[in-house]
Structure 1
Amino acid sequence: MQYSAYIAHFLVLIQLLGIVAAVHAVLTVRTAQGAIAWATSLVFMPLLTLVPYLVFGRSRFDAYIEARRQANHEMHEAAAELDWRPWVEEALAARQYDGYKALKAMVGLARMPTLANNHVRLLVNGKASFDAMFEAIAQARKVILVQFFIIRDDALGQRLAQLLLERAANGVDVFLLYDGIGSHALPGRYVEHLRQGGVQVYPFSTGSGMINRFQVNFRNHRKIVVVDGVRGFVGGHNVGVEYLGEKPPLSPWRDTHLELRGPAVACLQECFAEDWYWASHTLPTLILPKAYEEAGMLCQVVPSGPADPQETCSLFFVEAINAAVERLWITTPYFVPDEAVSAALRLAVLRGVDVRILLPSRPDHKTVYAASSLYALEAVRAGIRIFRYQPGFLHQKVVLIDHDTAAVGSANLDNRSFRLNFEIMVVTVDDDFAKEVEKMLMTDFEQSVEMSLDDRRRLHRLQQLGMRVARLVSPIL
C-alpha cells in the first residue's frame, strides 16, 4: 500500500513538473508550432517528454545567447586591431554589378558584405571535395583553419589527422574545431595525438553548468576549411568514409562542396574565428593576401545561428524563394519547412516559378523522414515538384535561383537549421557558375523519381498516421 502511495506521489510530481515545463515552453520556445508541440506533449505525456525537453527543447538559453554575443563582440574587437578586413574596395566594387541588388537583403541579414572578384569551383562529390581540401592542406605554408560537425576516427579521419600533423611539424599554425555532440564518437586518443603533434584542437560545446551539460541544441553544423587565407571550402561533407560513399546502406552518398578564392575567404575566416573564440577564448591566426584579382564573381557569405538578432537561416530561405522569378531548385536531405518558408514556396508556384525540391529516397533518421514525407506530399498538392533521389542518400544543400544565382553550404530546410544550429551558406551571382550547378542538378534529377498525388493514395492508413504523428513533433526535431 505504501509502495502504491509513493508511485501516486511520483506521478503527481511528474504531472506538476510537466505543467511547469509546458508553461516554460510557451514562454520561451521561438515558434508557435514548437511551443504547441512541446506544451501539449508535456501536459499529456510528461513521463515521456520531461527528459527530452531538458535535452532538446530549451531552445532559448538567454544566458548562453548573451554570452555568445559577447564573445562575438570581443572577437570582432580583437580582429579589428589587426585591420584585416578587405571590405571597403571589394564591397564598393560589388555595387557596380547588376546582381548586387538581388543580394541587398542578404547583406543586412548576414551582417557581412557582398564582395566582388571571387572565384568559385564546384566540387560535386566526396572524392572531388576531399581531394581538393587535402591537396590545399598539404600545400599550406602559414595557417590552416578546419571545422567540421562530424569527424570520425576512420580511414578518412586518419588521413586528415596525418596531414594536419605533417603541416604542424613544418611550422604551420593548425586550428581544428569539431562539434562535441556531432563528433561524440571521436575517441580522446585522436584529439590527444593531434595536440601532442602541435595541432590546436577544441570541441564546440553549448557551455558549462549543471543544466547546460544535458543540452544538445545549438550544435555547430558548419563545415569550413581555410588554407593560408587564400583557399576556402564550404559545403555539406563531414569527415567520415560514408561521405565518400563507402558505408552501406546509405551509399553511394550524394553531397556537394565548393572551393572559394578571393576576398570572401575573409568572411569564412571571420566565421571560423567567432566559433574558435567561443570555444577557446583566443583568436586564431587570420591572414589576408596582399592583393586580389581584379575580376571574378559576386559572393555573399551567410552565417547563421541561434545568437543572431533575427532568425537568419529561415529568412535566408524566404528571401531566396521570394527572389526567384523563373526557377527555384533546392536540394536538401530534410524537408521540414516552417510556415514562412512553406508560404513562400506556395507563392512562388503561383507566380509561375519552376519550383523543384530534391529529397533523398532513403531515410537516415526515420522520424524526420516520415515528417518530411508528409510535407513533401502537401507540397506536391500545392504544385511544387518533388523528386526522390534514387542511387543513395542525398545530403547536399544547394539552392539554384533563376539563371545566375546559386548557394551551397551546410543549412538544411528544417527547424534545427533554421533556429538551433550554427550554419553557413555561400551565395554566388554568376551565369557560368549557375550553369555548372544547373548541369549538376539536372544529372541528379535524371536519377530521381518525381512524386505525385498517387503516392498518397498508395500509403497504408498506419503509414499516414505515423507521418502525421511525426509531423506533430517536427517543430522540435
Structure 2
Amino acid sequence: MGWMRRIRLRTVLQHTALAVAAVQGTTLAVLAVVDHRRKRTRKPAVFPRVAPRSVTAGGSEVTVYTYGEDLYRDMLDAIRQARSRVFFETFIWKGDAVGQAFKDALTEAADRGVEVYVVFDEFANLVVPRSFFHFPDNIHVRRHPIGRSWPSVRNSGRDHRKLVVVDDAVAFLGGYNIGSLYATDWRDTHAKLTGDIVWDAENAFIDFWNLFAGRRRPELPDVGGRTWQSDIRIHRNIPRNVVYPIRGVYLDAFDRAAHHIYLTHAYLIPDTDMLDALLRAARRGVDVRIIVPAESNHIVADWLSRGFYTQLLRGGVRLFLYQGAMVHAKTATIDGQWSTIGTANLDRLSLTGNYEINMEVLNADVARQMEEIFALDSSNTVELTLAAWRRRHAMVKFSETVLTPFRPLL
C-alpha cells in the first residue's frame, strides 16, 4: 500500500506543478498582450529636464546629462574631434538615424587614422538588422556573444555597459543606450568625465577588451594610472572573474546612510540583502525615497518589482511612480555626500550577472546636483501610499504571487 500512496502523491505533485506552470504561462501571455497594446497606443513622452552642468570633483570634472539629445550631441562631437583613438561600448545600438550617426562618426574617425575599438552586445541587438553591424576593416570590433553555457554566470553574462572614451581626454558612462527613442522619449542619466578619472574609464575598457583577446583580437596596451583618485572611483562587475563590487558599494552606502537615500531605478527587484539594507535604513530614521517608472518598457519586470512594494511601504520606504515617460536611470545619492551613476539596475541580472560599470563619487557638489535632479524628477511622479496599494484588485495580487518564482531570473 505504501508504494501506491507514493505513486498517488507523485501524481498529485505533478498535476499541481503543471497547473501552476499553466497559470504562470497564462499570466505571462496576458501581460505580453497588454504590453503590446500599451506600446502601440503610448503617447509621445513629456517630462521635465535640466541642461547639463559641470561640477568639479577633485582632479576631475563631472557633467550630468538627463536628456538623450544633449548627451548624443556631445558624444558625437567628441568622436568627430578624436585624434588618436576611440573606445566605444554599448548594450543596445539601434540601426535608426541616431544609431547611424554614431556609426558614421566612428567610421569617419577610423578613415582619418584614429584607432577605433567597438564593443556591443549581440543578444541585446537581435532585432537590429545584421547588416547594420558590418564595419570596415579599419575598425576593431568585438560582438559580445550570446552565452552558450547558461546557467553558468561566468559565460552567460550580458555586456550591459555603456562607455565611450576619446583620446585619453573625455569619457562618457551611464544608462543611455544608442537610439532615436532614447534621445527624446526616455528619461535617463549619463555622465561625462574629464580630468584624472578618464584613465580609470579607459582602463575599464582596456581590461574588458583584453579579457577576450586572442589571435584574432590582439590585446590593448595596459599602462599604469596617472594618479590615485580620492573623490571618484569606477567599479566594474566582471562575471568571467566572478567579481561583483557594485552590489557591495550599494550595500555599504545604504549602511552608512544617516539622513537620506534617494534612488532612481528602472527596475527595482532587490535581493534579500539589498531589501534588508533599505528597510534597516528606514527603521533608523533615514528618509528613503525611490523613483521607479509607473510603466517601464518591460511589463514583467514591473510586476515582479511590485511584489516588493508592500514590504517596502510597510517598512517606511517612500515610492514615487514616474509619469509620462520611461525612466531608465540607475542612480543614487545619499546624505549630500555620496552618489553613483552607472549601468547597474537594482536587480539580480545587474548586480550578480551582467558586465556593468558604475562610478562612485564622494563629493558634496556632485551630490547637490544629483539631489536637484531628483527633486525635479519627483515633481513628475505620483507617490504610492500603502493605503492606495492595498486597494489594488485581488486578481492583481494573485498575479504578483504567481510571478514570484521568476524574481531570481531578473
Q: TM-score range by the shorter chain?
A: 0.7 to 0.9
User: Residue 250 of structure 2 corresponds to which residue in structure 1?
Assistant: 317
Aligned partners of 1:310, 1:351: CA distance in 2, in Å? 31
CA contact (8 A) 1:129 1:256 kept: no
Instruction: Provide the secondary structure at the position in 2 that maps to 1:182.
Output: helix
What is the TM-score normalised by the length of structure 2? 0.81
C-alpha separation between the residues in 2 aligned to 1:411 and 1:462?
32
Aligned residue in 2 for 1:347: 280
Contact 2:123 2:146 in 1 (8 A): no
Counterpart for residue 169 of structure 1: 111
Report the equivalent of 2:127.
185
Distance 1:253 1:216, change over 3 A: farther
Instruction: List aligned pairs for 1:362-441, cutoff 5 A.
Output: 362-441=295-374
1:273 aligns with 2:206: yes
Return the offset for 1:309.
4.6
Aligned partner of 1:203 among 140, 143, 152: 143
CA distance in 2, matches of 1:376, 1:212: 29
Provide the secondary structure at the position in 2 that maps to 1:411: coil
> Quick check: 1:253–1:393 contact (8 Å CA) kept in 2?
yes
In structure 1, what residue type is equivalent to 2:220? P
Q: For residues 228 and 259 of structure 1, do their structure 2 counterparts lie closer, same or farther at Cα, with a shift above 3 Å needed?
A: same
Q: Which runs of 5+ in 2 are unaligned?
A: 1-9, 26-56
For 1:33, the equivalent position in structure 2 comes to none
Shift of 1:432: 1.3
User: How many residues align structurally?
Assistant: 362
Q: Is the 8 A contact 1:117 1:297 kept in 2?
A: no
Equivalence for 2:46? none
* TM-score normalized with structure 1 length: 0.70
Q: Which residue of 2 aligns with 1:143?
A: 85
CA 1:43–1:307: 2 relative to 1, 3 Å: farther
Amino acid at match of 2:315: A
Query: CA–CA distance in 1 between the matches of 2:151 and 2:287?
Result: 44
- Structure 1 residues 399-408 or 266-275, which shifts more? 266-275
Contact in 1 for aligned 2:148/2:155 (Cα 8 Å): no
Q: Deviations over 1:313-367 (max 9, x none)?
A: 3222211211211111011011111110011001101121111110001131121
Instruction: Write the mapping of 1:222-371 to structure 2, written as runs, cut at 5 A.
Output: 222-245=161-184, 252-281=185-214, 282-284=218-220, 298-371=231-304
Letter aligned with residue 263 of structure 1: D
Partner-residue secondary structure (3-state), 2:340: strand
Residue 314 of structure 1 aligns to a residue whose secondary structure is helix
Taking the TM superposition and a 5 Å limit, the aligned residue runs for 1:109-124 are: 116-124=58-66
Q: Which amino acid aligns with 2:279?
A: R
Cα deviation, residue 380, structure 1: 1.0
**Alignment partners' CA distance in 1, 2:385 and 2:241:** 38
Which amino acid in the other structure matches residue 228 of structure 1?
Answer: D
**1:329–1:400 contact (8 Å) kept in structure 2:** yes
Partners of 2:197 and 2:146 in 1: CA distance:
28
1:280-331 per-position Cα deviation (integer Å, ceiling 9, x unaligned): 4322366899x78x9x971010111323455423222211211211111011
Structure number with the higher strand fraction is 2
Counterpart CA distance in 2 for 1:178 and 1:344 is 34
Q: 1:208 to 1:359 in 2, by over 3 A?
A: closer
In the alignment, residue 136 of structure 2 is paired with which amino acid? R
Q: Is the 8 A contact 1:305 1:419 kept in 2?
A: no
Name the CA shift for 1:318/1:137 in 2 (closer, same or farther; >3 Å).
same
Contact 1:119/1:297 (CA < 8 Å) preserved in 2?
no
Q: How much has 1:407 moved relative to structure 2? A: 0.6
CA distance in 2, matches of 1:119, 1:186: 35
1:454–1:45 distance in 2 versus 1, CA, 3 Å:
closer
Runs of 5+ unmatched residues, structure 1: 1-14, 20-39, 50-114, 246-251
* Structure 1 contact 175–284 (Cα < 8 Å) conserved: no
Aligned to 1:220: 159
The root-mean-square deviation of aligned C-alpha atoms, in Å, is 3.0
Match of residue 380 from structure 2: 447
Matches within 5 A, 1:34-183: 116-183=58-125
Residues 375 and 208 (structure 1 numbering): CA distance in 2 closer, same or farther, change over 3 Å? Answer: closer
Q: Secondary structure at the match of 2:403?
A: helix
Which residue does the alignment assign to 1:100? none
Looking at structure 2, the residues matched to 181 and 278 of structure 1 have their Cα atoms a distance apart, in angstroms, of 19
Distance apart, 1:135 and its partner CA: 1.1
Q: In structure 2, do the counterparts of structure 1 residues 454 and 359 end up closer, same or farther at CA, with 3 Å as the change threshold?
A: same
SS at match of 1:203: strand
